[in-house]
Amino acid sequence: MTSTDARGRRRPADKFEDRRRELADAALQTLATLGYARTSLREIAQNSDFSHGVLHYYFRDKVELITYCVQRFKTQCVERYDAVATHATAADALARDAGDGLAATLESDALMHRLWYDLRSQSMFEESFRLDVGEIDAGLERMIWRIVTTYAHLSGREPACTSATAYAAFDGLFQQALLRHLAADPEALDDLRAGTRLLLERLV
């Protein structure tokens, strides 16, 4: 049902899913630039190759589109953050790489991270987002915990906090850095790097 035939043509079910992905990407781009509150279906369609009516051919309503976007955003997040998982062999090198990695993705994907915090705030009001948002948060928590446990192992120590506490602290650090970076604070990235090293050292 999801395979291709002998001539390499996609089967109908695949085409349908491909178009959904294409429209969801246009929606994500619009959401990242305008924010959830100001994003309309017509604006999304204008950022794609299609007219606004086609959105209801591929999605039942706006909620299904946004939900699909959140899920798609999640997979992009996991891919992006897995790249941060380093292969360092020394504790201080790992701490430096982690700080650099977080600062790099904050700078290059600032708009997407901004959207993430916007959608997570929306999930506090709109229950239909909560499941997907919770799964993204869980994935990020695992990513942070991998770094913390690796750092602990490399330095011959044990983590001094739970996985949830470690993620909460790093997420707060990242969010503050993003806020200041978007407000054109030139020290935001350096403070994120320094804060990452300090938190790693203090939490294990």
- Under the criterion CB under 8 A, does residue 198 sit at the interface with a second copy? yes
The site that binds a second copy (CB under 8 A) totals a number of residues, namely 44
* Nearest partner of 159 among 170, 148, 167, judged by Cα: 148
Least distance CB 114 / a second copy (angstroms): 5
The one segment of 54-62, 87-95, 175-183, 184-192 that binds DNA by CB under 7 A: 54-62
- Residue 57 or residue 131: which is nearer to DNA going by CB? 57
- Under the criterion CB under 7 A, does residue 76 sit at the interface with DNA? no
- Residue 15 or residue 202: which is nearer to DNA going by CB? 15
Q: Terminal CA-to-CA distance of the chain, rounded, Å? A: 49
Q: Where are the alpha helices (DSSP H) in the chain?
A: 12-34, 41-46, 55-58, 62-82, 91-108, 110-123, 130-154, 163-182, 188-203
Which position among 114, 136, 147, 193 is part of the footprint of a second copy (CB under 8 A)?
Answer: 114
Beta strands in the chain (DSSP E): none
- Residue position matching structure tokens 């300090």: 198
Which residues here bind DNA, judged by CB under 7 A?
Answer: 9, 12, 15-16, 19, 39-43, 49-58, 61-63
